[in-house]
Structure 1
Amino acid sequence: MNDVKVRQVLRRSYELDHERYAVGVELQPYKLTGVVVGSDGVVMARARRHLTVMEEKEVVKRVAELAGDLVDDRLGCAFPRSRVCVGVQVGGPVDPDTGTVLHLVNGPDDHRHEKPPPYEWVGYPLGAELASMMGCATAVENDAHAFTAYEQSLGVGRTSATFGVVLVRDGVGAGMVVRGERIFAPMEFGHLQVWQRGRICDCGMRGCIESQVGNRALTAVVKERTGRELDGLEAAIALADGNDPQAGDAAAAFRKAGTSIARGIATLLTTFGPTHVVVYAAKDLLVGGPGHRAANSFLQAMRKFPAHTFHISRDCQIVTKPLDAVRGAHGAALIALQSCFDVRLQPR
């Protein structure tokens, strides 16, 4: 056996005895994105799968298949499951201590050509079910917290010890890192009430951030302002960006959405004093310039956050990043490494 093969065998033996790995999975409606990372936090492989249904047990089965395939393809079928953990992040409130999805539901105003069937998870033990099926440790977290974990190790956490992350998807979530420690408590950022006499939110309260912001709310607000039938956020953005007589009315909805986020950011500033806030959203909401009336309206209003906060807290930088499912899955893997194996990555 030559020296190269000897080193490969020794490396493989070391991996079997020492290395820890994590599979991170982002669970979004009807799709999965997965990555496998080593204890150094580097992504080694990735994969995507579509889901035909969102029934709980079927989703667990598909997550297990995706995670198993990633482990088998990258580490080998014989790699011990005791050296692997799985982290899953979902777009809803969870109990990370028990791995329970508290509530996951598709929106009542889900505008699509082919509207998917309704689904609703309430108090579902996703972590326990997945652990039972795979035979390895698991972690379950909210999607905004997963993006926050990613930023802590691989994003703004490299230069800032205290920062926030705002995630704009169907709804709006947030996470915080304070003095280098991620806050584990749930942050219902989207349900901060920022308008005294605002729209009624899906949650039943009035004036929440999510009554104006998020793919569902923004589409609904533009529809209310213009009376147009719209097939999702892209259609709402196209209306605001075009030459239609009602483009200005549509743009006003994006302006108010930006103000809603600005008022939410002001609350984070007043409470925690972050030096940076990272805003993840659809690319078309974040790329301004000529012809991008929706993004211009949203960004300009959002960047006026200093007007809504205590003057001592205004020294904060807003960083915008387009949504990326791989980052969300990567963050879920980093959370799993920490919670299951106590592997803590330093920002780099």
Structure 2
Amino acid sequence: MTMRNGRTVRDLRRENRTAVLQRLYFDGPMSRFSLGPATGLSSGSVSNVVAELVAEGLVEEAGSVDSAGGRPRTLLRVSSGSGFMIGVDVGETRIRIELFDLALTELARAERPLAVDGPHPHARYEVGVVVGHVRDGIAEVLRAAEVPAERLLGVGIGVPGIVARTPEDGAVVHGQTVDWDAVPLERLLRESVELPASVPYWIDNGAKTLGQAEMWFGAGRGARSAVVVLFGSGVGACVVTDPAGPGRAVEWGHLKVRVRGRRCRCGALGCLEAYAGAEALLERWREAGGRPPEGADEETALTAMLAAAYPAGTGTAPDATALAVLEETAEYLGAGFADLINLFQPERILVGGWAGLQLGTRFLETVEGYAREYALTYPAARVGIGLGTLGPDAVTVGAAILPLADFFARGGRRTEPGGEAAEEQPAWATTVRERTAH
């Protein structure tokens, strides 16, 4: 049956299921009585949807609560064991693979280091190596948690670069800073990883998955708009204008902050990432005469730089070279934040990523001062700037949210091969097909 606006009865049922699942997930446990006002559905619709979800094992009882003068009301919640997601972070120094249940409880984790093999720094991102690590990590976490692959809602993967999609290859990654030129990552994973065809891959920019996690569960909750910044070896950002919807990854790290400036990993001159990413920070410290620990990875070396610039002991003098590089970096970042404020006028700017969390605890206040100085007065006075709250693993959590968000959008129904074709079609679709056939 098709309504006047082109929506079918199936569409309406799916939307009702989505509304109930999302309210129970984010605000539950809740009673049937409370679900009505929270979702805008009638009591009859709530009862029908809840009955379906309970019968399918997606929703379960979670105790009861006294009502005003009546019988106790049964509380409902989303059943954490009714589905599982894998989140993958293809990071700068390692690949992290985590398996979660529907409550985002971590059930198993695998990590694979990305070591530089040879003189070229991009060697660590060799596509075959990355695909092999993801394949082995997925098998490892499923085996460790004893979860059948058929019960996965999907695999979400955060990657560096721009993600496009084609009918032939699915997600294709354009990662200029890691020397990935149109890498058909989804197709390569399909060919390599032993998962059922019904398990979808959701591949997107790592800054976007970080933004999704912070908006749903972290420091972005309650904000109408935000920019979530990811600091690692490089720099990226996610712009969110709808708290319930997906954000938009922007290549903020390749904003130009200095004409004919330092050469960036992308090959261009004067990018913010050439001054503010962890890789560039350490290189600038070395060029200025600093001594990063020999043979240390980026995380260890950045920790050493911060310790040198801000020594814990009161009797130890700061390393003047490290301090000067960090103070200059704070000004570059402040200018970059000012651009975000002027362009998007967000309610909040949140800083995450392993390097961002390390740097932010030391000099975020200085960065904020420069940002407010360089930005337009009106939007600068209305933005809050702070650290993300989900820690350095937030990209993995956000990646796992990608299949979860799709699961909710489908009303809690799994993706099936050819399932879309079996759905009811609006009346106009049939009419157009008939006209096209003549």
Normalising by the residue count of structure 1, what TM-score does the alignment of the two structures yield?
A: 0.76
**Residues 72/218 of structure 1: CA separation in 2 closer, same or farther (3 Å cut):** same
1:80 to 144, 150, 156: 150
Where does residue 282 of structure 2 map in the other structure? 219
Letter in 1 for 2:398: G
Q: State how far apart, in whole Å, the 1-side matches of 2:96 and 2:86 are.
A: 10
Task: Report if aligned partners of 1:286, 1:321 keep a CA contact under 8 Å in 2.
Answer: no
1:57 to 120, 128, 131: 128
Q: What are the within-5 Å matches in structure 2 for residues 127-142 of structure 1?
A: 127-132=186-191, 133=193, 134-135=195-196, 136-142=199-205
Corresponding position: 1:163 with 2:226:
yes
Corresponding position: 1:337 with 2:409:
no
Q: State how far apart, in whole Å, the 2-side matches of 1:72 and 1:320 are.
A: 35
Corresponding position: 1:309 with 2:372:
no
Q: State how far apart, in whole Å, the 1-side matches of 2:246 and 2:335 are.
A: 21
CA drift at 1:45? 1.3
**Residues 305/105 of structure 1: CA separation in 2 closer, same or farther (3 Å cut):** closer
Q: State how far apart, in whole Å, the 2-side matches of 1:222 and 1:72 are.
A: 44
Where does residue 308 of structure 2 map in the other structure? 239
**Residues 42/216 of structure 1: CA separation in 2 closer, same or farther (3 Å cut):** same
**Residues 255/332 of structure 1: CA separation in 2 closer, same or farther (3 Å cut):** same
1:14 to 57, 81, 105: 57
Corresponding position: 1:205 with 2:268:
yes
Where does residue 48 of structure 1 map in the other structure? 110
Where does residue 270 of structure 1 map in the other structure? 342
1:173 to 236, 242, 253: 236
Q: State how far apart, in whole Å, the 1-side matches of 2:337 and 2:411 are.
A: 28
Letter in 2 for 1:317: G
Q: State how far apart, in whole Å, the 1-side matches of 2:324 and 2:214 are.
A: 31
Q: State how far apart, in whole Å, the 2-side matches of 1:263 and 1:91 are.
A: 23
State the number of aligned residues: 309
CA drift at 1:138? 0.2
Q: State how far apart, in whole Å, the 2-side matches of 1:36 and 1:344 are.
A: 22
CA drift at 1:338? 2.6
Corresponding position: 1:285 with 2:359:
yes
1:70 to 132, 141, 158: 141
Q: Deviation per CA, 1:13-56, whole angstroms, max 9, x where unpaired?
A: 836xx9443211112245332223344x5224130222477542
**Residues 200/215 of structure 1: CA separation in 2 closer, same or farther (3 Å cut):** same
Letter in 2 for 1:262: G
Q: State how far apart, in whole Å, the 1-side matches of 2:109 and 2:360 are.
A: 26
Query: Larger relative contact order (C-alpha < 8 A, sep ≥ 6)?
Result: 1
2:161 to 92, 97, 119: 92
**Residues 59/229 of structure 1: CA separation in 2 closer, same or farther (3 Å cut):** closer
Q: What are the within-5 Å matches in structure 2 for residues 117-128 of structure 1?
A: 120-128=179-187
**Residues 251/44 of structure 1: CA separation in 2 closer, same or farther (3 Å cut):** closer
Q: State how far apart, in whole Å, the 1-side matches of 2:310 and 2:88 are.
A: 35
Q: State how far apart, in whole Å, the 1-side matches of 2:411 and 2:138 are.
A: 22
Q: State how far apart, in whole Å, the 2-side matches of 1:344 and 1:188 are.
A: 33
Where does residue 112 of structure 1 map in the other structure? none
CA drift at 1:139? 1.0
Normalising by the residue count of structure 2, what TM-score does the alignment of the two structures yield?
A: 0.62
Q: State how far apart, in whole Å, the 1-side matches of 2:241 and 2:292 are.
A: 43
**Residues 326/204 of structure 1: CA separation in 2 closer, same or farther (3 Å cut):** closer
Larger radius of gyration: 2
2:99 to 31, 36, 43: 36
CA drift at 1:105? 5.5
CA drift at 1:100? 1.7
Task: Report if aligned partners of 2:153, 2:407 keep a CA contact under 8 Å in 1.
Answer: no
CA drift at 1:263? 1.5
Report the RMSD for the aligned CA atoms in angstroms.
Answer: 3.3
**Residues 23/249 of structure 1: CA separation in 2 closer, same or farther (3 Å cut):** same
Task: Report if aligned partners of 2:293, 2:304 keep a CA contact under 8 Å in 1.
Answer: yes
Where does residue 319 of structure 1 map in the other structure? 386
**Residues 224/61 of structure 1: CA separation in 2 closer, same or farther (3 Å cut):** closer
Q: State how far apart, in whole Å, the 2-side matches of 1:42 and 1:70 are.
A: 15
